[in-house]
Amino acid sequence: MSTNAIVEKDESGKDADPSLYRSMIWSLLYLTASRPDILFSVCLCARYQSAPKESHLTHVKRIFRYLSGTTNLGLWYSKRSLFDLIGYSGADFAGCKIDQKSTSGTCQLLGDMLISWHSKKQASVALSTAEAEYVAAASCCAQLLWMRQQLEDYGFKFDNIPIRCDNTSAINLTKNPVQHSRSKHIELRQHFIRDHVQNGSIVVEYVSTETQLCDIFTKPLNFEKFSKLRMELGICYPF
């Protein structure tokens, strides 16, 4: 998706065929199971299935054109990869132009192998970038804890699992056990991450914005950065 693309309701635009639009979206959603590079764009377009316009259909057709030119792309899992569980979390603050809600993006890797990814609009409106990033980190923590439990059933044990975040204020929130005035409005279910940081099962680390893999799940990127993150996630041309 173009970095200057504006996807909104477009109430004055020409109506598109809802059946055609939904069938295209459902096909793309099925494909996101093996092509995480299109997840953000597909999820963004999927928000307008109830009353699609020609402008929305144009964005969907662009995704299909991208796919037609990258049919050999796929996830690559190397047998030489390490087996360390790592999480990345990020958010696009007030990314939705309609209701000003932020978009959370998370991904989890075993060494260099991408095994889980997530892109979703947050349920509530965040009042700051730190809050949006904190909510995304809590979502990433929940997924990592579930994976940790599953891997323990196979005899693998993990402690101090890193979550890499590019917002220092959100990192400080996870390490502060005190419920102060600036975080009281955040839903209580998001604060469970603090307990796991305190007991050492999760470690929230800082990562620079340039190496934040989750940006590909939260916002449109220019071609250079998109291609770089796509390769770092292990989406390459092995076939």
> Rounded mean pLDDT of 178-194?
67
* Assigned domain for 64 exists: yes
Residue 187: pLDDT band (50, 70, 90) is low
Residues 123 and 216 in one domain: yes
Whole-model pTM: value is: 0.91
Residue 180: pLDDT band (50, 70, 90) is low
d(CA 10, CA 2): 18
Residues 43 and 97 in one domain: no
Give tens-digit pLDDT for 5-41.
Answer: 888 888 888 999 999 999 999 999 999 999 999 999 9
* Assigned domain for 6 exists: no
Domain range for 50 is 18-68
* Assigned domain for 9 exists: no
